[in-house]
Amino acid sequence: MGCCFSEPIDFDGEVNLFHFDLHRAVGKGAFGKVRVVEHKRSKHLYALKYIDKAQCIKQKAIANIIQERRLLEEIDHAFIVNLRYAFQDDENCFFVLDLMLGGDLRFHLERKGHLGEEVVRFWVAEIACGLQYLHQQRIIHRDLKPDNILLDSEGHAHITDFNVAIHYSERRMHNSVAGSMAYMAPEVISKKGYTWYVDWWSLGVTAWELLFHRRPFDGRTVEQMRNAIQKETLRFPENVEHKCSPAGMSALSQFLERNPSRRLGCRPGHGFEDVRNNPWFVDLDFDRLEAKELQPPFVPDMKKANFDVTHELDEFLMVEKPLTHQKRKANPDLEKMKPELRQLEEQFTVYDYTRSKRMSYYPHNQPVTVVRDGASDCGELDASMLEQSQNMTGTMMATATIATRSLAGSPPPPEMRHSIDIPPVPRPSTATRTPPRPSTARAPSQS
């Protein structure tokens, strides 16, 4: 009578997939999925984001994956989906992140049609705290939208998806087009140079959409949308007073100010204090808010799935190759690898938050590129990438994240220097933060 025993897991060695039990799939991206996983020793629950290397190479996204991995190592904040572990096997790169089972704001918006002002105001305040922290770390998110804001089980909002996030410099501005066009600030679309203040515009678009189930600037074509964002007058929907207070309308108008030096959160000499003291937020205790001591006005129903259940069906029906634990090939020969795989081996390094101190790659974390035959690994902006579809309500569906080649920043052009005042860089925070304790709840069933 024979019996098979699995090899013991070396929890004292480098973290790998064998350290985790795999549970249900809760999301899907361009190159892989997001699974709930449970650390076998600590019993903590996490979200496992895994990226297929072959698909990543095919889509020329190696630079973005490495950039995201580096940036996430620098970040630890109450309203951000923080990185806990990073590693790879022969087929995939893995991000182990804080688990958010409350669903993304796109999911809840589509389910409810629109969300109440008090709910939206609370989330906007939390996300504003997260953005201020990122900007203090010299990071621009560049893709803030309802799809990239996740709720935990208690209803707190968290920023996720740093695939096109970058560092910014105090001396040079960026001019590459990245993000989702419907949420891009005018200065991104115009390619005249931008920095951290573009995230505050995106927050304004997001808040508007959550309140009114439509965006402030839309268009059926790329050109129409570009023109709307840059030139159209901001108009509130009819019967706006039934959905938003005068203070809320004023705050939205200030977030959607085309001149960055007058935009809420960006005014020189004021910055984030403008947000804290704005009439829409003035009665919120931001110190208690950041400590997560305030009760969220919306709590997800954890008895229901707060995500698209078809993510699980894909693997159950064998539509896609299921994720499995696999041993790595011993002593791989880097010289014989494809350049892209070698770059991943060398630069997508192992991270373990229980052992490693978070570090900053700035200013050395310049955009990474793989160059072949004179072409960058990031595709140029193309109209076909930005085609939009309309749903039955006439609201534009979520736009895909796009990015042009990540070039080094450029100085602001002469005409911009004279037309606006460039907001100063937010002062870095000296406060240290204690990482939130990961969830120890039992994992959801895969069935």
The Cα–Cα gap between 48 and 31 comes to 13
The Cα–Cα gap between 284 and 102 comes to 23
- 364's CB contacts (< 8 A; 6+ apart) are none
The pLDDT confidence band at residue 15, using thresholds 50, 70 and 90, is very high
User: What are the residue boundaries of the structural domains of the chain, listed by start?
Assistant: 17-100+306-352, 116-303+381-419
The Cα–Cα gap between 218 and 348 comes to 38
Q: Is 253 exposed, middle or buried (0-12, 13-18, 19+ CB in 10 A)?
A: middle
311 has a pLDDT exceeding 80: no
Pairing relationship of beta strands 139-140 and 83-88 according to DSSP bridges: unpaired
The Cα–Cα gap between 37 and 241 comes to 44
- Domain 116-303+381-419 is of which CATH architecture? Orthogonal Bundle (1.10)
Q: Is 360 exposed, middle or buried (0-12, 13-18, 19+ CB in 10 A)?
A: middle
Whether the Cβ atoms of residue 79 and residue 60 lie closer than 8 Å to each other: no
Query: How far lies 176's CA from each of 25, 227, 373, in Å?
Result: 33, 18, 21
Pairing relationship of beta strands 20-28 and 92-97 according to DSSP bridges: unpaired
- Tell me the CA end-to-end span of the chain in Å, nearest whole number: 31
Whether the Cβ atoms of residue 389 and residue 412 lie closer than 8 Å to each other: no
Structure tokens at 357: 């101190």
SS3 assignment, position 32: coil
pTM of the model as a whole:
0.81
88 has a pLDDT exceeding 70: yes
The mean pLDDT of 292-306, rounded to a whole number, is 90
The pLDDT confidence band at residue 308, using thresholds 50, 70 and 90, is low
In tens, the pLDDT along 321-352 reads 677 777 777 777 777 778 888 999 899 999 99
> What CATH number should be reported for the domain whose range is 17-100+306-352?
3.30.200.20
* DSSP letter assigned to residue 372: B
**How many C-beta atoms lie closer than 10 Å to residue 239's C-beta?**
7
The Cα–Cα gap between 62 and 403 comes to 13
> DSSP string spanning 77-132?
-TTB--EEEEEE-SSEEEEEE----S-BHHHHHHHHSS--HHHHHHHHHHHHHHHH
Residue 401's pLDDT is 62
Q: Is 112 labelled a binding residue?
A: no
Residue 310's pLDDT is 55
Cα dihedral sign for 319, 320, 325, 329? positive
**How many C-beta atoms lie closer than 10 Å to residue 104's C-beta?**
23
The pLDDT confidence band at residue 134, using thresholds 50, 70 and 90, is very high
Structure tokens at 294: 């305030």
* Active site positions, annotated: 143
Residue 169's pLDDT is 84
Share of the chain above pLDDT 70, in %: 75
